[in-house]
Structure 1
């Protein structure tokens, strides 16, 4: 191979990589906009939101997509943008301001779980382990004032255990897998994304609204189980569809 041919291939690879990155930024913008619009689509009632009919919205199904589709950095950035958009929508008034940070936290941590180690400025970060540590801190912060309704943390404990298993299994998400294998890969990531997003709502409900343990344990808990379980499945399905539709944007492994 001549030097000219080699140089030509290098340029082509750079162009392809640049094009893919540009498309991912475009998807990030679209995803942030979709997140904002989804805040106007109610799902079920939940304390802390004064939006249409005081209902939980479709955002709980969109938040996990930031990290899964965009990775930790872009997921955090566009998740934050999506959260800010909801704050300025005329039909959605949030009494818990921490909810705005939910999609950003979800984007960062679920993105870090795409593989067992993420390199940032030559430093290898054990992403899933860091996520498990974050979830453990959230559980402690909840349990200190609400130990009487400890079972409310069941999803958090499950997500933390899943994150730890991803770390020690040397997990690496492969977008090239097809069918049910891809979907099964997405389930743990969607669960982590859903619960880390929910963590900001939980902290706001505990320390800003000061909701008592009885309400968490007996009033909210049954609905939370159904809502977050459904959000996990729906997020995984949507991510599967997007990855299948835009194969040229998402590399087989990241």
Structure 2
């Protein structure tokens, strides 16, 4: 598959980020509008009731600042995922949410863990490691961009600040690494020149025929066309007549 066919824009590149952002903002608006708190639908570790947070927690946020901080990274990273890894993007999102939530449920503190930050760490981790594993120049470039923009997030997988679910961040980071190893993706075949092909024969290369075994240039004159050899040009001279 060529690069042009593999990396082409589709409506999903815009649709998926728009739906994701609209979903988290709608849930927050619903809480403000009706003065309710849905935090108890978040992940509460090692309780049967807390398992429902595996699906619901990415849509819940504790404040407008928390929501805003997750909005832009979620939109940018989900768009990058769909564009560059369209064949496995749904698997990454679905399995990523499930595994991140489950791992948070297993290792988290006894508190409600909410927010899309776990999903963001999942996307950062997956895009970075998958690009490195594929060794494809475009995906490696994407990995470097992700590190440059979001590399500082790695510090928050450690318990450095109270009130932040570092367990959710760590769960997302580890899940992204796991999916980058397990999930396979199609990578465009690099363009091969004539001399890189398996059926290439050096002795039939017209360019190499101009060089000897030691690499010295040899001037090869093409045989003259037989028709040109027999071509004759005949000139007819018209005598001038004296005008009266």
Q: Which has the higher strand share?
A: 1
So what's the TM-score if we normalise by structure 1? 0.29
**Between Structure 1 and Structure 2, whose CA radius of gyration is higher?**
2
Q: Which has the higher helix share?
A: 1
